[in-house]
Structure 1
């Protein structure tokens, strides 16, 4: 049987409990009443037959008696023959016998017996007396044995007695029949009433049982229905289903299957909600700090904008950036950095301020949304700044990390809002821009958003977009600045990149190189420079006056630290056919610090290819001399900041002399850049500097012009 059919039987059960027994009871009642009615009708019919027989009996007996009397008189007067007399008397005897049988029948009728047993016997005796004397009169007349009148006279006496007695009995029978009929009707009425009340009582019991069954079924269905409704209400907690569990344990069949299905559905709904909550937390909360993430903070900020607009009050967005957080990850590992971030989140969460929402938007960046600061902008700004000061004081307290104390500094950017028309993305952008400007003023700085600064940042964003397009469109060109020896003779050149912007013209490297470093585009640009420089080396090999030139190429720290950098250089040399011993890579001190062992190994791999190395901007960094002596360098380059004021600044002269002496002590070639006057050249030459580069000898020029300058006579030092 299907579950739906079984469930239908559950609903039909109360109806069947009433209808089927009611039909059965009605059938029995109708049968009983029918039998009672038949008995009553039979009684009435029998009594009526008895009365009819009694009424006709007297008439028939009177007629017979009259015929007997007439027959006896006729016998005396007409002198009937013996045959006639026997025939008449035989007929009278037969009729008497028949009447006697009827008398016996009447005597045995229920009505007469019910009236009186003695009356029936007396009626029979009286008739027998009458019959005996009539028979005697007939026999006397037939045989002519005597006077039959004597017997007839005696018969007449018994006839009168019988007639009078039968009339009395008839009257008594009529009254008794009426009583019996009345009693039968009363019994039938009582039986009808009894059956009716019994039926009502039984119906009451059945209806009560049906109501009880319906109540029990309804109670179970209500439990099931409430369970289904509770499962349909997504925002309410799931019920414990104790009642459903009891129903499942106590019952079988469709109800057990339904309750089992509900429990299974509840468990599935519980799993779904847990998965939904997990997905929600993954989508809207940071897994490390359990704070709202960037997505949820944007929704909170949109809500805050609407509230501020309704209340005509200012709110504030505070963007927090931990300064130099990379130092913690590099020095102690990322697990230590995660611990610090959790501590920061805990401290921020402990801030007790109404209308304050805290979230983590990226690695070491947090943000705070404050609602309802003030209706006046100046007052709101003061309160926001005080709050930022409180945050700075709280987060700059020492952190305990592996038993050691660690100190942090942070930069905060603030922006106010009070209109729902303001863009959430713009507010985050403004606060982040304020952070960048604050970083330029030092650590632990707090800065409000400045529209002028934002315009500069937007221009920078546009420049970044154009820079990405420049890589695709091949808008870069190389220029070359000649390098000379002590006699001014060209010995090489430095390849310098320029950007030929389609609308802005030539863009200075000082503008786009820092942007490329920050965005990571420097790796792609550096690869292009490397391949272009190798092609230029091949071109110079075709001419006698340029084939000995060594070409220096600047390599950024990010480019040098790429795992495939050695392979990239090798591919560039192989693809172009350039001589590797004519290629010199200029590294900055930031390129080699950090993973020094890995750096040294990579430099030795490149040295094996025949490539030489120069340390660019020497003296401006903080690298250890212990590491410096281990690096396979060929040349160090004196930064132009020390050369520019040689004739005026004694400190610069001391630094230059020290660098030259150090290079000679380490057997390193020394080249000075930024040589712009003959005096610079003369001083450096007097202190035994090996090579020179600067505007005095050659400005950065195209490759063709550079080749032409190599044919010109060298400048005179005297």
Structure 2
């Protein structure tokens, strides 16, 4: 209940003399409540008892709202005896369910009409809140000023009025906490805006959102979550003035309407901030719920309102924006609404709507960035990188829209599209004769948590008829570590289906090391921050070396992304990196450009190598030469163990090229070359010959060329170097079918390591 003071300049006139009866008869009711006569109260004033003392509670207060007299029904309804009530203010019955604007309207009616009647939620002595029908009448003295208020009220909680009260309670109050709900809060906010416009004293709207409340529900159960919400409601109610409104407007979201802060914007801001900090402190204290200790903090958004015309909808949107800014700032803090933030939020909302349209209208495309084998500099696969071709914004890079897609949940649909499109493109390349190209796709945390990632990838591979091994799933280290047990379960499903698995941005979260050996992964991808600093920061290089050593121990490949300079590439190669990815080799390219690269892997077939001979006693070296010859379409490859066997094979079937080692038993490569050049029946004496040797020095090279060798190669050499030598020698007599070394992979490069 409010104090019924209408005129701050008026004073109570208790115990006036009977000389004022004429004024009472002329319209002003004088009430003599002088109890000095033996301590006995005089009878109720004429006409007052007619209100129905047998049913209605009654109290009479002075102009300041101090209770002077109550009846027995007052005690029966409220639980307060006359001794407990008299001398106290009428606000001892306040429930806290009505805001300042409710009482302002009551005072306005009493001032203008002398009476007010309406439904009020009041509080009994035992703390129980009850609905009542209240009638308040102002009485005036001989001078026309208010001297007393007579209030009669009826408890409607058990009477015929109760169904209506129940309906109102359900419509305007939150059943869990008993606080006003969103609907009533909006009504009070509108009243506050109207009062602010009249009195020129500003107010504030606060949105209070609990941090990580979902985790509380998941960890402690929904029952304790409900009890926590009730305790939050209680703490908020205690922390604020009775004139303020506290409401629960969502699951774990509360609103506070502060009124009558100040006539000055700066002062209003300071007071609102003080209240906000008080809420942070109060709600941030430890909770003891059903014997369990729970820590839960709030994030608070604040927007001020004053004499400017602004709608309640706009204020709520501003408070919501400010609250999300507090979340973004690290939670457990407060933020005031900033118009610039509103512009950013509007752009964010527009982009979210645009993303939704992008999904519906197929506006997304994939670009592909080549991944290059360190040893051969050969393209061994691609990473599919998402682009949004917006009709209004143009080609939008992922850094601008992926965070919004993740926050809105749209990333699941977008991620599923990426998987399907990558599989479709792999199938298209295979149909064009380029084989099953390996493509890596990025997987989000929400896709992982959906529980259907393995099934969705398997379905996409099956739908497009590609082997699962052609697809590689990349997940960031932070995503993996958010739930390592779930990640392990899903990874095992993916591994069983044949999909390769990569942990991306590795090195940013060392907690992953403890779980790494338990996860069925194939590749570690070093975070680009270490790669970018590799040529200028020794600490970054040391981290890279540590990751390399760990990966080799676990038999994992290592990809360095963000390689942009030769010095970075050299340092990473020396550290033991397997695969490069970055602008040094290629930026992400649209599929048409990748198609052109694939077409350039072959030259027009004017002459085909039918038969090639390898004269080498090392099996590993023969395997390496085989891989190089595969690029030239050799139909048959003949192996000989020494020079004598080579001569015999040439006499029997001939060859288009001979690649042989210098040092061999029975007949070495130099003598064999001299025999071929001297002439062998049925063998072309000009046949191209490449001589391989571990010798060093000008003398050995001169001896080889003097014997008639076409190309002299010193061991060890790279596969790419051998490929170039073959192309140089074979094209001397005209163009041949050549496939570029992009077809080589990092796995083949390990043969090269073995023979060096």
Q: Is this a same-fold pair by TM over 0.5? A: yes
Contact 2:239 2:278 in 1 (8 A): no
Q: 1:457 and 1:386 mapped to 2: Cα distance?
A: 26
Q: Encode CA deviations 1:5-36: one digit per residue, 9 max, x unaligned.
A: xxxxxxxxxxxxxxxxxxxxxxxxxxxxxxxx
Deviation at 1:391, TM superposition (A): 1.6
- Name the SS of the counterpart of 2:245 in structure 1: strand
The match for 2:451 among 556, 563, 571 is 563
Bigger shift: 434-443 or 363-372?
434-443
Contact 2:532 2:562 in 1 (8 A): yes
2:571 aligned with 1:672, yes or no? no
Cα distance change of structure 1 residues 274 and 633 upon mapping to structure 2, 3 Å threshold: farther
Q: 2:329 and 2:445 mapped to 1: Cα distance?
A: 25
Deviation at 1:714, TM superposition (A): 6.6
Q: 1:475 and 1:381 mapped to 2: Cα distance?
A: 45
2:175 aligned with 1:287, yes or no? yes
Deviation at 1:273, TM superposition (A): 6.1
Deviation at 1:270, TM superposition (A): 7.4
Deviation at 1:448, TM superposition (A): 1.6
Cα distance change of structure 1 residues 401 and 684 upon mapping to structure 2, 3 Å threshold: farther
Contact 2:205 2:319 in 1 (8 A): yes
Deviation at 1:272, TM superposition (A): 8.7
Q: 2:483 and 2:270 mapped to 1: Cα distance?
A: 46
Q: 1:592 and 1:330 mapped to 2: Cα distance?
A: 20
Q: Encode CA deviations 1:217-264: one digit per residue, 9 max, x unaligned.
A: xxxxxxxxx9xxxxxx9979999xxxxxxxxxxxxxxxxxxxxxxxxx
Deviation at 1:279, TM superposition (A): 4.7
Cα distance change of structure 1 residues 547 and 362 upon mapping to structure 2, 3 Å threshold: same
Cα distance change of structure 1 residues 612 and 238 upon mapping to structure 2, 3 Å threshold: closer
Structure 1 unmatched ranges of 5 or more: 1-225, 227-232, 240-268
Contact 1:306 1:420 in 2 (8 A): no
2:511 aligned with 1:648, yes or no? no
The match for 1:471 among 359, 382, 399 is 359
Q: 2:421 and 2:240 mapped to 1: Cα distance?
A: 60
Contact 2:503 2:521 in 1 (8 A): yes
Contact 1:663 1:670 in 2 (8 A): yes
The match for 2:260 among 352, 368, 372 is 372
Deviation at 1:518, TM superposition (A): 0.3
- Name the SS of the counterpart of 1:696 in structure 2: coil
2:587 aligned with 1:699, yes or no? yes
Cα distance change of structure 1 residues 687 and 465 upon mapping to structure 2, 3 Å threshold: same
Q: 1:473 and 1:714 mapped to 2: Cα distance?
A: 39
- Name the SS of the counterpart of 2:583 in structure 1: coil
2:204 aligned with 1:316, yes or no? yes
2:387 aligned with 1:498, yes or no? yes
- Name the SS of the counterpart of 1:453 in structure 2: helix
Contact 1:490 1:549 in 2 (8 A): no
Deviation at 1:563, TM superposition (A): 3.1
Q: Encode CA deviations 1:264-305: one digit per residue, 9 max, x unaligned.
A: xxxxx9799656545544443333322222222112211111
Contact 2:303 2:315 in 1 (8 A): yes
User: 1:399-478, aligned counterparts within 5 Å?
Assistant: 399-401=287-289, 403=291, 405-419=293-307, 421-478=309-366
User: 1:247-326, aligned counterparts within 5 Å?
Assistant: 277-326=165-214
Q: 2:432 and 2:514 mapped to 1: Cα distance?
A: 42
2:404 aligned with 1:515, yes or no? yes
Matching residue of 2:421: 532
Matching residue of 1:587: 475
Q: 2:546 and 2:558 mapped to 1: Cα distance?
A: 11
- Name the SS of the counterpart of 1:350 in structure 2: helix
**Per residue, is there more strand in 1 or in 2?**
2
Contact 2:364 2:388 in 1 (8 A): yes
Contact 2:301 2:334 in 1 (8 A): yes
Deviation at 1:707, TM superposition (A): 3.4
Q: 1:302 and 1:702 mapped to 2: Cα distance?
A: 54
Contact 2:436 2:466 in 1 (8 A): no
Contact 2:477 2:512 in 1 (8 A): no
Deviation at 1:702, TM superposition (A): 1.1
Cα distance change of structure 1 residues 307 and 420 upon mapping to structure 2, 3 Å threshold: farther
Q: How many residues align?
A: 457
Cα distance change of structure 1 residues 361 and 628 upon mapping to structure 2, 3 Å threshold: farther
Q: 1:234 and 1:444 mapped to 2: Cα distance?
A: 41
- Name the SS of the counterpart of 2:365 in structure 1: strand
**Structure with greater Cα Rg:** 1
Q: 1:360 and 1:567 mapped to 2: Cα distance?
A: 41
2:547 aligned with 1:659, yes or no? yes
Contact 1:640 1:673 in 2 (8 A): yes
Contact 2:501 2:522 in 1 (8 A): yes
Cα distance change of structure 1 residues 327 and 655 upon mapping to structure 2, 3 Å threshold: farther
Matching residue of 2:496: 608
Q: 1:281 and 1:709 mapped to 2: Cα distance?
A: 71
Q: 1:592 and 1:238 mapped to 2: Cα distance?
A: 55
Give me the CA root mean square deviation. Answer: 3.0
**Could you state the TM-score of these two structures normalised by the residue count of structure 2?**
0.57
Deviation at 1:543, TM superposition (A): 4.3
Cα distance change of structure 1 residues 407 and 560 upon mapping to structure 2, 3 Å threshold: closer
**Could you state the TM-score of these two structures normalised by the residue count of structure 1?**
0.59
Deviation at 1:422, TM superposition (A): 1.2
Contact 1:561 1:591 in 2 (8 A): no
Deviation at 1:666, TM superposition (A): 1.5
Q: 1:274 and 1:714 mapped to 2: Cα distance?
A: 86
Deviation at 1:633, TM superposition (A): 0.8
**Per residue, is there more helix in 1 or in 2?**
1
Cα distance change of structure 1 residues 650 and 549 upon mapping to structure 2, 3 Å threshold: same
Cα distance change of structure 1 residues 510 and 418 upon mapping to structure 2, 3 Å threshold: same
Matching residue of 2:145: none
Q: 1:621 and 1:484 mapped to 2: Cα distance?
A: 26
Cα distance change of structure 1 residues 340 and 270 upon mapping to structure 2, 3 Å threshold: closer
Q: Encode CA deviations 1:438-474: one digit per residue, 9 max, x unaligned.
A: 3344443222211111111111111111111111111
Q: Encode CA deviations 1:47-85: one digit per residue, 9 max, x unaligned.
A: xxxxxxxxxxxxxxxxxxxxxxxxxxxxxxxxxxxxxxx
